[in-house]
Every structure is written in C-alpha cells, then in structure tokens.
Amino acid sequence: MATILVLAEDDVIARALREHFEVTCLPTDSGPRVLQGRLPDAFVVAPSSADALALVEYLSQHTGRPIVVLAQGASSELIAAYLERGADAVVRDGDAVAECVARLRSLTRRSALAQPSETAYRFGGVELYPERRSVLREGVALHFTRTEFNLLCVLAQHLDTVLSHRQLMSEVWGQEFLSARHYLRVYVRRVREKIEVDPNSPQLLMAYRAKGYMLRSTPASEPLHAYTGDEFAHRTHGIGSNARVTTYVSSLV
C-alpha cells in the first residue's frame, strides 16, 4: 500500500484517504520535519495560506516525490503557480477526495514503474538520485544545498576514483573559480557531515594529499581520523612479506 503524507491544518483529508492509503498527517508549517524518517510515496498539500506555494517548492526540490495540492476554489493563476513550483496535480473542484485518490494512484504507480530505470548511485548506506535531486541515508532523506548536491553528484559519478582538486573545482564551480580551492575544503566538510557516520573519521569521502578526493562505494575498513592544520594521516599497509603500499590520505576539509 502506498504511503502518503498529508500536510494540512486538520486531519479531515487524512481520514478520508486512509481508506485507500497508509496516511500520516502533519501541519503545513512543519518545515524540515517532513524530511525526517522514511519519505512517503507522495505528498498531499491542503493550503491554509499563501505559504503553501513555498511548501510545494520545498517538497519538490528536496524529495522528488509526487505532490498533489488540494486547492478548492483556486484561480487559474494560482493553479499555474502551484504547477510551476513543482506540484504534479492540483485538485480544485467537484469531489476532491475521489479525484485526489485517483491522482495519487496514478502518480505513485508511475513513480514505482520509473524507479527501476532511474539513475541511482549507492555508496555505504547512502543512495543518490540525480534526476530528483534526492539523497537518502539508510532510507532517511538528507537536505543538501545546490552546491553540496552538485559536489556529491560529481564524486558519485566517479566512484572509487580520485578526482583532482582542479577537476572538482571546474565541474562544480566553473573555470573562473579554479584558484578558490578553499571553497572545495569547506563543501567537502559539509558533505561529510551529512553522509558520514562520523565526519571526523571519514570512511566514504576520502582526501588524498596533493591529488584530490575520492568517494568510496564501500566504507573504508578502518576510518581515517581527521587532523587539523597541515597534518595528514599516513597509512602504510603491508602486502606479503616484501611489498608495501603507502597511501597519504588527508582528512582535511
């Protein structure tokens, strides 16, 4: 059964939809709370003020899930505004519940069919979906700014490959920012704070001295502890009795 999160000031719509879906209800001013826990299959927004436009845009940008707006009596201009902000359907007249159920069934069915062919990158317990700009960690949605998301996406497209500082700066910020490497350190730290179990002991987003950064598809067997200043973690692993592989890994941000 599809899961639906209703954002409304009362639970009237939620109670009606529970005959057809697994439904949770939150007030429209819940903000980031809607991203806590596992994301629903779709959202229903019952506007109580003009702020509903911002809510629809927020859901569209950060979840990638279908959105149905119940806007009884809304003008054509307002309906167009909801659709432009990211709503998939706006139910205005007639039997709102019946039409809402039909819309939700159609949207969740299409979404479920599309998921197998959707591009997805998985590393550790993280899932990244570029098309809907969505990142989940152990099934829980994470909020990323546009730049944070773009950085993670570039790294994910080259899993287990060290990307140079220059390449990352060029692809995320553009050629004109190649000299502003401090941007990269700041945003690597921000991304680590969201995808790593312990950002100070990264196991996924690794930094390599004088080379760049690499996003691992699986966590490192041993976390590399962060250092401050210009210190670097120096790891040496023995292979056989004579060979040694030395890797200089920086946990700086």
Q: Which domains does the chain have, with CATH numbers?
A: 3-117 (3.40.50.2300), 121-250 (1.10.10.10)
- 3-7/42-45 β-pairing: parallel
Task: Name residues whose C-beta falls within 8 Å of residue 10's C-beta, 6 or more positions apart in sequence.
Answer: none
User: Nearest CA to 71 among 46, 100, 98?
Assistant: 46
pTM value? 0.53
Least confident stretch, 44-48, 49-53, 165-169, 173-177: 49-53
The alpha carbons of the chain give a radius of gyration, in whole angstroms, of: 22
Q: What are the angstrom distances between the C-alpha of 244 and each of 18, 158, 170, 222, 240?
A: 62, 26, 34, 18, 8
pLDDT at 112: 62
Residues 96-125: tens digit of each pLDDT: 788 899 989 988 887 665 555 567 899 988
Rounded CA-CA distance 101/87 in Å is 15
Task: Name residues whose C-beta falls within 8 Å of residue 79's C-beta, 6 or more positions apart in sequence.
Answer: 71, 90, 92
